[in-house]
Structure 1
């Protein structure tokens, strides 16, 4: 039997493997599927190893959600980087919708959490609001960032019939709020 932590820095390898197992469980079974025993079994380690390297269930959930958020933000950043002004705002919001819908952890989180959890982790998250203003190029207004996050969430929970309609909604109702 080979050591599953061979070939690199043990701590980093353990965390990566445990996070990957947790992300896979969330993607397949939703947030309720995140269970330390199941994560340990998926990662091929003991329950004690999970606690030693990543902490308990809430720390693991938070880390996996942070990784998904970082992946999504990077996708939006790459997609919106070449755009400016109102085109950047529109492009970033639409890219966010596409990136969230394509991410299995984000999709499972939104599908299997309560409105209070969505509010805690997304709508009221000041770091996410700050990222929204940076990605859209709208400045440092956290209230505007929280509103952008809520716009994205509303379109995720109540999508338009097609991408063209979503673009129209953003251009007609979001852009005027930024004076564009």
Structure 2
């Protein structure tokens, strides 16, 4: 008897995770973060909840994986922009380029919809803190500094100033001094 396996080829774990994350990305983009649930995801990929947890983790881990998929272009652009920079200049550049990229991203409406309750928990993602620390060059591994950077970016993304020059001056005047060494 030939078994019709839902994961065929390559590494079983990698293939399963890829299939789950791809389906989760589609669900989150089409329905939003708040409507995302494990049962719907399991039905979409034709597997059990246990399989989802085994290969992709829980809702928070899946959210972080989807966040990485959706933000990979933003991260790459910021990484290129800060290459060779350090200190306050790196932090300011990372924040301003990230904001430009978030605002230009076609998924921005979904990412910044104030009705999305899950966004209120997104700032607590360890993934975002690690990205903030990496992209800004925070080397002392201060989790509070990385969380603060995430909150600064989320605040400006949610409530942009009408004048980019004023926003840039605010970041240089109030954020940069915290990172002058």
TM-score scaled to structure 2, two decimals?
Answer: 0.71
Deviations 1:145-175 (A, max 9, x none): 2322221121012112254343222122212
Q: How does 1:98-137 map to 2 (within 5 A)?
A: 98-101=100-103, 102=105, 104=107, 108=110, 110-111=112-113, 112-113=116-117, 117-121=121-125, 125=126, 128-137=128-137
Structure 2: which 5+ runs fail to align? none
For the 8 Å contact 1:89–1:175, the answer to whether it is kept is yes
Residue in structure 2 matched with residue 167 of structure 1 by the alignment: 168
Deviations 1:16-70 (A, max 9, x none): 0111111121122111221234323443x23354344334545433443455566
Matched residue of 1:24: which SS?
helix
Determine which structure has greater relative contact order: mean sequence separation of CA pairs < 8 Å that are 6+ residues apart, divided by chain length: 2
CA RMSD of aligned residues (A): 3.3
Alpha carbons of structure 1 residues 13 and 130: separation in structure 2 relative to 1, 3 Å:
closer
Alpha carbons of structure 1 residues 110 and 14: separation in structure 2 relative to 1, 3 Å:
same
Structure 1: which 5+ runs fail to align? none
Distance in 1 (CA, whole Å) between partners of 2:79 and 2:11 is 30
For the 8 Å contact 1:40–1:46, the answer to whether it is kept is yes
For the 8 Å contact 1:80–1:91, the answer to whether it is kept is yes
Residue in structure 2 matched with residue 80 of structure 1 by the alignment: 82
Residue-pair matches, total: 173
For the 8 Å contact 1:40–1:47, the answer to whether it is kept is yes
TM-score scaled to structure 1, two decimals?
Answer: 0.72
Greater per-residue helix proportion? 1
